Chains A and B, each alone.
Chain A
Amino acid sequence: MAEPRAIDIKDQPGFRSIAIICLLVLYVPVLILMIFSLNSGSLVTHWEGVTLGWYGSALLNEEFHNAARNTLIISVSATIISTICATLAAIGMTRVKPWRGLAAAFMVINLPLMVPEIITAVATLSFFALIAGTFGLNFGIGNLILAHTVFCIPFAYMPIRARLEDMDLTLEYAAADLYATPWNAFKRITLPLLVPGIMSGAALAFIVSFDDFTITQLVAGPGQTTLPLYIWNQIRRPMTPEINAISTILLLVSILFVSVSFLIARRRAK
């Protein structure tokens, strides 16, 4: 009798074909999108020949530039602010004596993950409208940065907290034992060991902010078009492979970020 462990799921009938179908469904559309970004014709459905022209026209497109600039300003700001908040929150929730409301705080931080995004979007829109109406305040692009920061925090928080929980508390005791004040112990021991967690938290936050559509669509004011909004607007007109080129650029940026964060995490884990 074989042990239960010896059962290999790879040997189950149909496993191979199901796996292949899943992979095809996931990646074939993306692959087609990328291939047609090289189409020399002006249709996204009819292949004519190979060209890099659409990348050229995308990169020279003024509207694309503006959208890219907006996206970068919002994503980078939201990433930095949310990562700082998430780091502080994670430290405050793992390196202190358990306090009343700890579980509640954890819930509050992670709530944006569970609330349907459209509801957050509507709520955020009404919130900013209320502030604008009552106090006459409008932070311009700051509105978007604020909105993005809020939903980025739980994404940044997760890997940082995981890293803190994995970290051997004895290391901090050892630092204190060796005359390090709490601040020095944090600066010299906890923080350097936390860097991989912070990096992957920041990368996640950046990606989430970078391609957010729902909240941005509702909150964005005139002149605050981001890349996802720009693409959405383009699709409503007759589509050209330029949109494929832009999408491919976005995809490559995302892949780059995810790979970097993965590589950092792996290098540090050694």
Chain B
Amino acid sequence: MGIAFKSRVTAPQLPSRPAYGDNRTGTHLPPRAGSLNGVIVPEQPGKNAIEVRGVRKVFGTGENQVAALDTVSVSIRENEFFTLLGPSGCGKTTLLRLIAGFDFPSAGEILLHGQDIAPLPPFKRPVNTVFQSYALFPHMTVAQNIGFGLEMLGKPKGEIEARVAQMLKLVKMEALKARRTSQISGGQQQRVALARALAPQPKVLLLDEPLSALDYKLRKEMQIELKRLQHETGITFIFVTHDQEEALTMSDRIAVMSAGKILQVGSPRDIYDRPAERFVADFIGETNFLAGTVVSKKPGVATVKFASNATITAGYPEGFHPSGDVTLVVRPEHADLVPDPAKGTITGTLSNIVYFGTDTHYHVKLDGGDENFIVRHQNSRSNPVIYETGAKVGIQFEEDAARVLKD
């Protein structure tokens, strides 16, 4: 880490590709074992920045015990924008706090570049956090806030000043460096919080729902800004959010969490198109769920029969052995409406048509049961078919648009 700091400060401009923290090239900045002001410097860089191994976190004692994290394991790669996504109370913030060091796991290991950091206090971990409330020091100026971490690391004054100037430029806050943090807007505070956490060049940057306090437009701006900062600094970002859209648009990979467990880890596309569990399909985007029974099975695909006696063959997630009652999921935009019921994979009656501007939702009550199915059509200047409620329609979808999941 020591070397990394120096090389960064002598650099006249931030490199567009990371010089720091990017050990894939291995040509510069070999991390050395040791410590800087008591902050550990990981010995061997692996390709994983963070490895969480069998981590449990239990709050309370006796009968009041609650497992906030139930034996979670996940690897976060170097240089990755990784998102922990889940509803409130799913354990995502607890996991973040364990990585930051504000809490200690009840069991398990947290490896940073191969070294277990779980027992270390936060001030010995080369990991920095952007807090939901920003937590800027109100008695200091913007520049003093940004320099605080470097100061605590015992950096020389000149180096701190140069680095602070660099960070101010990076987040475009040069003009306001002498202001108190109470004299700047929410969006500006957000930038200062980012600069402050990035200034010590952490191995990993933790972001705890940092955009939730911003209004819609500013949030959109900051999403792009965060991606840019991650790209320019090459630091691994671990981002916590409950906003699925934010997760899909920003992340390299997403871990979907629920009730203290990680349900699925994958790219946004994986998570959206190939959900591993019903919860994942339900939490992210809109989905149609169809109840069915497995009638036959081949490697990778299963044939499912519905209440209406129609059958469809679709893929299923690895590690799942479909049999008996299952659920079939189909995204509304992956299905098509056809006027001739005979041409549909399944059939039903149009019960409702909802116009959304960019697209139209067709609610179909399926034959042979009381299940509902929603089909989403993108609107264009001239829609070829005008449907009317009460009409018998068919619903078509490709095999790979549907997925067989546990009931």
Contact = CB atoms under 8 A, between A and B. Distances in A.
B partners with A: yes
Interface of A: 168, 170-171, 173-182, 184-185, 188-189, 192-193, 270
A173 B149 CA distance: 12
B129 interface: yes
B133 A177 contact: no
Interface stretch (B48-56, B82-90, B135-143, B318-326): B135-143
B153 A179 contact: yes
B152 A178 contact: yes
B121 A176 contact: yes
Contacts of B137: 171, 174-175, 189
Contact of B138 (A180, A181, A193): A193
12 contacts: A170-B135, A171-B135, A173-B100, A173-B129, A176-B123, A177-B197, A178-B200, A179-B149, A179-B200, A181-B123, A184-B152, A193-B138
A168 B137 CA distance: 10
Interface of B: 37-39, 100-102, 121-124, 127-129, 131, 133, 135-139, 148-149, 152-153, 182, 196-197, 200
Contacts of B136: 174
Contacts, number: 67
A182 B196 CA distance: 19
Chain A contact surface mostly = helix
A174 B123 CA distance: 10
A176 B101 contact: yes
A180 B135 CA distance: 15
Contacts of B153: 179
Given A178-B196, A179-B37, A179-B123, A173 B138 contact: no
B3 to A, nearest CB: 17
Given A168-B133, A174-B129, 11 more contacts: A170-B131, A173-B102, A173-B122, A174-B137, A176-B123, A177-B127, A178-B128, A179-B37, A179-B149, A181-B152, A185-B123
B311 to A, nearest CB: 56
A170 B129 CA distance: 11
A36 B256 CA distance: 79
Contacts of B129: 173-174, 177
B122 A177 contact: yes
Interface centre among B101, B127, B129 (most CB of A within 10 A): B129
Contacts of B128: 177-178
Nearest to B132: A170
B123 A180 contact: yes
Contacts of A168: 133, 135
A180 B152 contact: yes
A-B interface, 6 closest residue pairs, ranked by CB to CB distance from nearest: A178-B149, A179-B152, A174-B135, A170-B135, A176-B122, A180-B152
